[in-house]
Amino acid sequence: MRAASAQLIALLDADQFLMADLYTITTVQNQVHRYTNYDYDLIVGGNTHLTDGPIISREGFNLSLGVEVDNLFVSIESTDENDFNLISIAQAFHNGQMDGARFKLERIFMDINTPTDTSAGALLLFEGRIIEPELDRNVIHFNVASDLDDLSVQMPRNLYQPGCSNTLFDSACGLNRLNYMAERVIESGSTSARIICNITQPQGWFTQGVVEFLDGGNAGLKRTVRLHESGVLLLTLPLLEDPQVGQRIRVYPGCDKRLETCINRFNNKPMFRGSPFIPVPETSV
């Protein structure tokens, strides 16, 4: 059962009314994009939903009781003129900007005599996380999984193993990612697989870490650092296009899950959750 305002209930009792879908995409960086399939821009709750954005279509969905994960299938048709923060929508999906993004579907109802009056409020139809995007030229297809999908985790979570069972910067690790982030600019001589920048941390500090690109055609793209040498980051996979001098990057350190690294690099021994001193299986009996 969905809650509706008294004004909306009265409007639905009328013989005729108008309705439109509202789409809200929120990235993990808290960038919000709002669109509608209506003929005019709609202001709902102080937020403007644009009508001149990409063409968004969706299939029907079923909501069920229990722990079954509900899904919504969505398609986005876009051109090069449709962009997310100056990058084409297809490129944004390809770069990974939409990884983990949330998608919200609402429906708004309006009086036929006041076709832009949204004071009756909107009904929330579906909300979840974008998963499994597929790109086909200028069409993006993806599923939206309900929040029950977060329950699909490995059990038991904790295993006896030499390496730490935490993920660096997660809640169990307890470290703040921003405290270890280094923001730099790309220097001359860089290539799609080799980034030169003024990194002052010791060699190997960012090995197995992540570099995030903030500008240009690679904006939003993240790559794992295969090897950190003095002032040079070697990437596991090459970039889509060569980086340009002066473009900004953010670099985050890596962790090899060893106790020595936890102590020497992060000073975080109390949160270490590995068992480095247990014997190997061949000698434990």
Residue-wise pLDDT tens digits, 192-212: 999 999 988 989 999 999 999
On whether both 131 and 263 belong to a single domain, the answer is no
Bridge-partner residues for 22, per DSSP?
A: 36, 106
9: CB partners within 8 A, 6+ apart: none
Query: Contact at 8 Å (CB) between 160 and 275?
Result: yes
| Residue type at position 126 | F
Residue 268 falls within a domain, yes or no? yes
Number of structural domains found in the chain: 2
Gap between the Cα atoms of 140 and 91, Å rounded = 10
- In this prediction, residue 285 carries a pLDDT of 52
| Residue type at position 144 | V
How many other C-beta atoms can be found within 10 angstroms of the C-beta atom of residue 140?
23
On whether both 182 and 144 belong to a single domain, the answer is no
On whether both 11 and 145 belong to a single domain, the answer is yes
On whether both 191 and 129 belong to a single domain, the answer is no
Residue 169 falls within a domain, yes or no? no
On whether both 186 and 138 belong to a single domain, the answer is no
**Rg, Å, the chain Cα set:** 24
Residue 252 falls within a domain, yes or no? yes
On whether both 70 and 107 belong to a single domain, the answer is yes
On whether both 122 and 247 belong to a single domain, the answer is no
CATH number, residue 248: 2.40.10
Greatest extent of the chain over all pairs of C-alpha atoms, in Å = 82
What are the phi and psi torsion angles at 6 (to 5°)?
-60, -35
Domain that holds residue 54: 6-151
Residue 257 falls within a domain, yes or no? yes
- Locus of tokens 């939409």: 98
Tokens at 17, concatenated: 């009314």
| Residue type at position 26 | T
Gap between the Cα atoms of 249 and 220, Å rounded = 10
> How much is the pTM?
0.70
- In this prediction, residue 188 carries a pLDDT of 94
What are the phi and psi torsion angles at 218 (to 5°)?
-95, 5
Residue 255 falls within a domain, yes or no? yes
Q: What is the pLDDT along the chain (285 residues), one digit of tens a residue?
A: 567 777 777 777 777 888 899 999 998 878 899 999 999 999 998 999 999 888 999 887 766 666 667 888 999 988 777 777 777 888 888 877 788 899 999 999 888 888 888 888 888 888 999 988 888 777 899 989 888 777 777 777 777 888 898 989 998 999 999 999 999 999 999 999 999 999 889 899 999 999 999 988 888 888 999 999 988 999 998 887 899 999 999 999 999 999 999 999 999 999 999 988 887 766 655
- Alpha carbons within 13 angstroms on the beta-carbon side of residue 259 total 8
